[in-house]
A and B are shown apart, each in its own frame.
Chain A
Amino acid sequence: MSLLQEYFNDRNKVVKNLKLIFWTACALSLLIGFYGWFVRIVDGHIKANYGSIVTWGLWVAGYIYFIGLSAGSFLVSSLVYVFNYKKFERIGKLAVFTALVTLLMALLSIWADLGHMGRAWHVIVFPNFKSPMAWMIYLYSLYMLLIAVEIYFLLRYDFATGANNSTFKGKIYKLLSLGSKDSTEESKQRDKKVVKRLATAGIPIAILFHGGVGALFGVVSARPHWHSGLFPILFLLSALVSGGALLTLISSIFQQGWSKNKGVIIELGKMVLALLLLDVLFQVSEFLVAYRGGIPGHTAGFDLVLSGPYAWVFWGWQGLIGTVIPILLLIFPTRKSPLWVALAGLLIAAGIFGLRLNIVIPGLAVEEIHGLTSAIYSHRVDPHYFPSISEWALTMGIVGFGMLLFGLGEYFLPKHEEKT
């Protein structure tokens, strides 16, 4: 322990090494991802392991996961810009940026999942407002626009001032400033007001669209595992947990990392712990209600979660790694160390991915009519689903893409300046 502590005390060395690790991981993920995307583009869905029974797989789980991260981080940022919560001020911009990056990741994931990627625009042109999915699409389009604009106003002042520089960075800033040259303090204050309004408008949108994602599942009466009024709330709550958790990790890496963001990370840790406990409560209630009711169709999905072939996702991944260990880390004195909190954040964020998988797949893996999956002999009617290599690879690529954006953001985007 002390050795580790010593190691971390030598800040330069750590930062250097961390950077190396970060970029290696990023490059590796992108490389693997390239294979996944190549297969997806060339072979379509043939190499994917989902079928006509488990119709949604890793990519949809990835989508609701990333979009949850986005909504969560956005809502954390709104604490700063709407409620003026000073403790998180340092990472306000980072949170909004995270919201944008994870949203892009989410859209990539769901885009890859479409049978016809080239027809994604249909969702804008031919909407069906009876469909929760159409609503969701409209809401997140609006949300994306809103975050983009908000980021612009958050950083406009910095761009405008930085644009005068003739360096490469300066040129980029000039581009990003969209021509705005106003670098007066007055304009800065005006930006702030705009940001506040946008952030305020963003709260209901974020809640609506992520609740909407929950509703997207919740309204499907054909799937008892999903068909629950709690779903929209549960989605929101998990979004907040995962978004907050991710931010602990991100703020320990970026914006001068854990050394400067120590206070924020520890504060975030507290918030995440509270939300996580609430989230667990909600989840437990889902299980209890289902099992007390005892309707076989309703419990079947939960049976799969608890004792199916992929029960380890629940017990090991989601339960132990994603819930129990981080809760302990956030309760015990480790809660005061930004490193341990960041680690807890990482575990929670990863754990929620297990939760997302456990929402999407068991809901589908239950035969709708007994004997259906043995009625014809095809691997597309198999109720057992495990993502294929190319599916994993594609998702890795999305993660790599997200890391790349974060890395570029860290390099190009202005740092938070301490003001006293």
Chain B
Amino acid sequence: MAYIFDEKIGRRKFIKGLIATAAGATVLGGTGCATYGSKERALKTNAAGLKEWGRRSGEWIPSCCSMCGGQSGILVHVVNGVVEKIEPNHWNPNNYSNVSDDFFNGYTKEYGCLEGGAICPKGHAGIMALYDPDRIKNPLKRKNPERGLDIDPQWEEISWEQSLNEISSKLKKLKDNREAHKLLWMSEDHSFTHIQADFCKLYGTPNYSMHSNLCDVARKASFKTVMGDERPLADFIHSKYILLFGWNPTSAIKWVYLPRILTRAIERGARLVVVDPYLSDTAAKGHDWLAIKPGTDGALALALAHCIIRDKLYNKDFITKWTVGFNQYADYVKDKTPEWAEKITGIPANKMEEVARDLATIKPACVDAWSGPGQHTNGVQGGRAIALLTALIGGYDRPGTLLIPNTGGNKHIEVEPDESAKQTLKMPRFDELNKFPLGHKSGVYTQIFNNIVNGKGPYGAKMLFCVFQNPVMSVPGGTKTVAEAFSKLEMSVVIDTMMSETALLADYVLPGTVYLERYDLNTHWVTWPALGLRQPVVKPLFNQLAEYETVTALGRKLKLTSKDGKKNFEVSPLTGGKVENLTKWYEDYLSKELLEGKPKITLEQLKELPGAVWFDKKGTEYEKYAKEIPAEKLGNAYYDGRAIYDKPKNKGGKRIGTIINGRAVRGFFTNSGKVEFYSESLAKKKDAIGNSIDPLPVYKPRDWQPDDNYPLYLINWKEASHTHTRTQNNSWLLEIKGYNPIIMNPATAAKYGIEDGDEIWLESPHGKVKGKVKLTERIHPEVIGAQHGFGHEALGKNARGTGTNTGILNITKSDPLSGMAVHKEICVKVYKA
């Protein structure tokens, strides 16, 4: 081959060639550009992939979410046994609206509600909860007798059989010693509660508690005493004026219909005013934000009442017909002027005048409150003052106001314990619930742990079951009291999906199921009866038992029998025959509850309904309190004074009405059958500390107030991104909220020389904790706060060490009326770390 630089070819030619080649390449490139460059081209597709994984592959299984207690409807796409995606269930009213005219408008069997339902971010992230690699896979037994949050439990993996045998034999010993009441049982309150209650009853312990007393029992108590219902629901979408005290419905989403109905109300002309120390995401949608000092909501409500009564803007008709004690109340608020309240709440008096005037004149108006005012020691009375505003403007159970829900669904068929169980069931509850005049059946967690730690209570507790909960972090001051309490028990069992801080302290940890692996019936918090099915969409990943199966299996090992002598957990509740399979047994259990309850269908029939949702076609009824009770219902009724029950109270009778002016009407389920401005029944009672109770919603400052040493209020709240202390290991949720910054006003920060993004110490007399500061004017200058739930020391690799657990700074304490844990009553000082 001739070298190109040999004279024969010549350099000139070479260069020419070079240039030609370059030019050629450019031209080719140019052509390439014309062909492939700017022009669109089809992207390759994967037909096999589409067939295997596309929307038409696999199954779409209707179910209900349980990432929080909201239980929204979901459709789960399962392909090859894997949950591929979760989408909203358009047939479920919980995903759309809490009033039926809105939900039924445009509803079709084929598609569901008109605009389609919704689920919140947590709903989507259920996939990551299911497939979290940090989940507990096998039963674990503690080998290290020492307990503590920083002590290695030295877990030993044991078989299910061994764990159930060991646990049940210890339970049996306790029961045989006639100490069944010394078993404490704590459960989450939305999932498989009935069977746990049954177990406790048949075993013979009165100490079945649920987590409500960490959440909203103060609100329940307030409304219960004022208008006889624990949980009235706000009919936002029909409202024209919405006043919210310490509630963040668009972000602290419990029911996912809330963002839609609230924004839709504003769109239709409603005015939204939010009372909150923090300009919450809901307040961001509002027209006005009243930055109130924590724990003073009651004073504000009283001042509003003062203005309304002074200006005679109240609804005279409603007050005369449907309330008692108005005169005492009017007397009491006579001197509760806006000027008086301004000093307490920090809200300008003229603002209060404006709000009071609007509230009473713009109709319909809706006043509601949630955990903000409730989680303080004066929460119940404050809540009563708020609840009474609705009565003042005559707004209960009318469109656009607070509605009395009708949430019938499945029916808990009460079991009858046998004699041996009855003996111990008679014992007082360990948490001394009876001392709390407005206590809720969910019990008083703070009292449980305080009693164990202090060796108090009616007797010594010996064993504890904690199902799907993390009291170490969710009970105020729990890192100290709960941790100590666990070391004083003979046996503690935690059933959970994650190695929570509480699980870390237990003797046995049993792997639980994520909601996609199990059943439940979910009655929905809409204003007419509706019920959705939760069903397993995949098999439990680690072949573990679902919680109800664990309970059933323990019940079988303990041979628990009901009064009629039948082995309750072996005999099918539906057919009466013996059922070996644990899942099948529970399916029968649910079928029975459905057939006896409102739906009157079996589990199989429920599965066939669109979206696996049943709802009453009658829909929302208004002004139910004025409705006369039909004669046929009165036939079997039981009368207790003026109150009417469908059955005798001791046979589980439920209140159905009241005799008012000689007519049997529904009325309100208070003593008087009317809304009570003045509660005679309360006047006779004492609170848990032994103080007498004001029959009027008297404002008293909460116990713990800021002082020179600890000058700042510390509050906490919930956002759409996480559920309590449960979801902080969820990879997806961490991406939308990775930690909880300490929210602080720039003015406050300047006072302490703190800058945005600084690490600071928060210190109370009970402890100190570090946090990262985020400055914003969204918070009252005397208040700092953070989203609740972060600051884990366990739970999983993602969760550990992210964010701040402000519960450390608190003490384990409840409000003395309802037993509500006082999460928001903390005062701190702050300084740079």
A contacts, CB < 8 Å to B: 124-130, 138, 142, 145, 149, 156, 178-180, 182, 190, 194, 197, 376-378
Contact = CB atoms under 8 A, between A and B. Distances in A.
Contacts of A190: 11
20 contacts: A124-B25, A126-B32, A126-B36, A127-B37, A128-B33, A128-B37, A128-B38, A138-B26, A138-B29, A142-B22, A145-B22, A149-B18, A178-B4, A178-B5, A180-B5, A180-B6, A190-B11, A377-B734, A377-B736, A377-B739
B81 interface: no
Interface string B12-26: 000100100010011
B558 to A, nearest CB: 47
A197 B14 CA distance: 14
A376 B731 CA distance: 12
Contact of A179 (B5, B26, B735): B5
Contacts of B738: 377-378
A178 B38 CA distance: 41
Nearest to B11: A194
Nearest to A128: B37
Given A128-B38, A377-B734, 12 more contacts: A124-B29, A126-B36, A128-B37, A129-B30, A129-B33, A129-B37, A145-B18, A145-B22, A179-B3, A179-B6, A182-B5, A377-B739
B737 interface: yes
B792 to A, nearest CB: 16
Contacts of B22: 142, 145
Given A179-B3, A180-B3, A127 B734 contact: no
A137 to B, nearest CB: 10
Contacts of B36: 126
A376 B735 contact: yes
B7 interface: yes
A377 B737 contact: yes
Contacts of A376: 735-736
A125 B735 contact: no
Contacts of A124: 25, 29
A194 B15 contact: yes
Contacts of B38: 128, 130
A145 B17 CA distance: 13
Nearest to B733: A377
Contacts of A377: 734-739
A182 B7 contact: yes
A205 to B, nearest CB: 11
Contacts of A125: 29, 32
Given A149-B18, A377-B735, A178 B37 contact: no
Closest A-B pairs by Cβ, 8 of them? A377-B738, A179-B3, A180-B5, A128-B37, A127-B29, A126-B36, A129-B33, A127-B33
Contacts of A128: 33, 37-38
Contacts of B26: 138
Interface in B729-784: 734-739
A179 B32 CA distance: 36
Contacts of A142: 22
A129 B36 CA distance: 11
Contacts of B18: 145, 149
Contacts of A138: 26, 29
Nearest to A129: B33
A127 B30 CA distance: 8
Contacts of B735: 376-378
A182 B11 CA distance: 12
Contacts of B739: 377
A378 B737 CA distance: 10
B29 to A, nearest CB: 5
A178 B4 CA distance: 9
A83 B336 CA distance: 96
A328 to B, nearest CB: 38
A337 to B, nearest CB: 43
A375 to B, nearest CB: 8
A179 B22 CA distance: 23
A146 to B, nearest CB: 9
Interface in B27-74: 29-30, 32-33, 36-38
Contacts of A378: 735, 738
A43 B30 CA distance: 36
Nearest to A125: B32
A203 B454 CA distance: 89
Contacts of B32: 125-127
B101 to A, nearest CB: 37
Contacts of B11: 190, 194
Nearest to A381: B735
Contacts of A178: 3-5
A126 B32 CA distance: 6
A197 B18 CA distance: 14
A1 to B, nearest CB: 47
A142 B18 CA distance: 10
B9 to A, nearest CB: 11
A178 B26 CA distance: 26
A194 B739 CA distance: 67
Nearest to B7: A182
B7 to A, nearest CB: 7
Nearest to A377: B738
A149 B3 CA distance: 15
Nearest to A375: B736
Contacts of B25: 124
A145 B26 CA distance: 14
A101 B4 CA distance: 25
A128 B33 CA distance: 6
Contacts of A130: 38
A179 B25 CA distance: 27
B816 to A, nearest CB: 40
A138 B22 CA distance: 10
A126 B737 contact: no
Contacts of B6: 179-180
Nearest to B2: A179
A298 B124 CA distance: 39
B13 to A, nearest CB: 12
Nearest to B29: A127
Contacts of B37: 126-129
A135 to B, nearest CB: 11
B591 to A, nearest CB: 44
